Every structure is written in structure tokens, then in C-alpha cells.
Structure 1
């Protein structure tokens, strides 16, 4: 019996899909197209919707990719999405986030030391991933007090929701962790 993850190995990539894969690699600064996107090649219409969301929320905006990747790792660990946790752990390593901070994101869904602004944003995003009703005016005031403006706070909320959404997609499709991510995590 075929499993969902075999779709990655058995899927046919049309020239249009290959072009999309190239855009994904470039935007993510990845040496390969992650299996997360390859599995969606069987539903190009879905891929055409899924990719732009990640591209805009993760790689664009005023909140830096460093913080967004840390949010992604913390929420992926919380939601037990092993694929997203591994992928974004590898991205965190590639952009220079210290291993101790990554381990804290995985074990505690937050960081214990480091920039208080990053800690507050991660804590807020993780709390929203647990319960989207958990935001309050006090959260906005606290984040503003640390230097975030309203646009950046909305990006943090979008990042939290996007991480939950992508965790759902990865868990539901049982995607195999890419060997490229495994090598990065092993320090190779």
C-alpha cells in the first residue's frame, strides 16, 4: 500500500511546478526543494495557494526572518510537527541562531535568555498557537513597550497562525524529513 510520503518520490513535476520549486528554493535560501512542497506537486492548485502564504509571511515584512524561524520552531515543537521542527531547526542553524536557543525553543517552546524583545514575541506567538483567543490589549501594549509597532505585532500573529496551518498540513501528509535537513542537523 502506498503511503502519502511516497507521493514525494512518485510525483511528477511539470515545468510549471519545477519553476515554482525554483522560486521556493531561492526565497527560502535552501539548497534543495523541501519535501513539504514536493508533496503538494500532486495538487498544483493547492501548491499555488500554500507557497505564496509562506513566502510573504516568513520571508517578507518588517519582522526579521530570524525571529520568524524561532517562532516556527517553538510552535512546531508545541504542535509535535516533527517535519516542520526539523526543517526550521535547520534554517535556524543556517542563519546563525545559537544551538542553545534552538534547544530551548524545542524543549520549552520559548527562549530563556537572549533578547527580551524576541522572548516576548515568541511567548506571544506560542500562546496564540495554543489558544487564538488569548490575545489582549495588554499584549499589544507590552509588545509596543518593547519596540514593536502594530504592523509588526500583526506579522507576529500571522506567523503564529501560519505555523499552526503548516504544521497541520505537514502532519496530515506524513511528510518524510528531507535528507538535506537531517545532514544540517547532524552538522554535516
Structure 2
């Protein structure tokens, strides 16, 4: 197995040092995902920006969690599933929802299940949803902005999920209990 470096804010490439310092201020640690991404300062910067933008998207905290975990689950990301479970817990998301999202069990709320199903379809079909799929989504009260914000989330999660697959990123100790 090819190993990737887990950089710190001291030994990272110069352009990544301020990004890792920012991560440390934000999380209290440098998440291993960020430590791996530091190898490519542009990837780390793009990921952090995409994350920030999606956090300010048209979705609520709960809806963002559903979208993130739908993508993480589809990509079978060993790192992002527990990390986003911990983030969801910090957001106050109901434990039953967190567990269903992590395990792939159906969600009790039909609207959230539709959000999850639409997100998975978007990823699986590489953005080629049928008019009927889009109309069902819109009829449930979601918007075209929601659909396009989902595309933003896919971009963000492809960056993290694929990085974690390549690097076999170890799950940070603080997130291990959520695995």
C-alpha cells in the first residue's frame, strides 16, 4: 500500500500551513483528512471552500447531513461516515436519524428519504436525473436551488471520499466512536 503523509501545520507544504492552522483553530485538531490533503494545497483549499459554501447553502443542518451521508454512504467512505455522524451529533440531529444515515436504513421522514434517494440517484446517474425524478423532488417542496446545491455537495464529497480511498486516511481518535 502506498502511504500518504499526515502533515502537521509545522511540516506541511508552505501553502498548506495557513490552511492547517485554520483547521486547528476550527476543530481543535487537524483532521486527518486535512492532514492528507495538505500534500496538495489547492485540493485542501478547494475542499475547505466547498465545505464552507455548502454549509451556507439552501439546506438546513438536517438536510445537509442527509445529503452528505447519502454521498458518503454511496461512496462507502470509511472516514467521512463517522466524521459526519459526529458533526450531526454536534448539530443536535436526532440519534435515530444519524444511525439510519450511517447504516443505510430507511428514514422515517418521507421527505428526508426522498432527499437521500435523490442525492444517491444524482451520484449514481452522474447528474442525469430524469424530468420525472426532478419533478417528484420539486413536488416535495424542494427547489431547483436545492438540486444545484446538491451538486456542490457532490463536488465537496468527491474530493474527500476519493482522497480517503486513495490515502486510506485513518479515522481521527475523536471520531472513532462514531464508526
Contact 1:101/1:111 (8 A) holds in 2: no
Which stretch of structure 1 is more off in the superposition, 120-129 or 45-54? 45-54
The corresponding residue for 1:32 is 29
* TM-score normalised to structure 1 length: 0.79
Q: SS at 1:52's partner residue? A: helix
Cα RMSD, aligned residues only: 2.7
Q: CA shift at 1:14, angstroms?
A: 6.3
Q: SS at 1:82's partner residue? A: coil
The corresponding residue for 2:134 is 140
The corresponding residue for 1:51 is 48
The corresponding residue for 1:77 is 73
Contact 1:8/1:39 (8 A) holds in 2: yes
Contact 1:92/1:102 (8 A) holds in 2: yes
1:116-139 CA distance string (max 9 Å, x none): 332211110012222225412122
Q: CA shift at 1:99, angstroms?
A: 2.1
Q: CA shift at 1:178, angstroms?
A: 0.6
1:12-71 CA distance string (max 9 Å, x none): 136753432344466xx63433111111222223322332122212x1221123222222
Q: Does 1:96 align with 2:92?
A: yes
Q: 1:69 to 1:30 in 2, by over 3 A?
A: farther
Residue of 52, 64, 67 corresponding to 2:63: 67
Q: Distance in 2 between matches of 1:39 and 1:140?
A: 36
The corresponding residue for 1:160 is 154
Q: 1:157 to 1:121 in 2, by over 3 A?
A: farther
1:131-170 CA distance string (max 9 Å, x none): 2254121222222222222112211233234323421121
Q: Distance in 2 between matches of 1:17 and 1:168?
A: 19
* TM-score normalised to structure 2 length: 0.83
Q: Does 1:126 align with 2:120?
A: yes
Q: CA shift at 1:113, angstroms?
A: 0.2
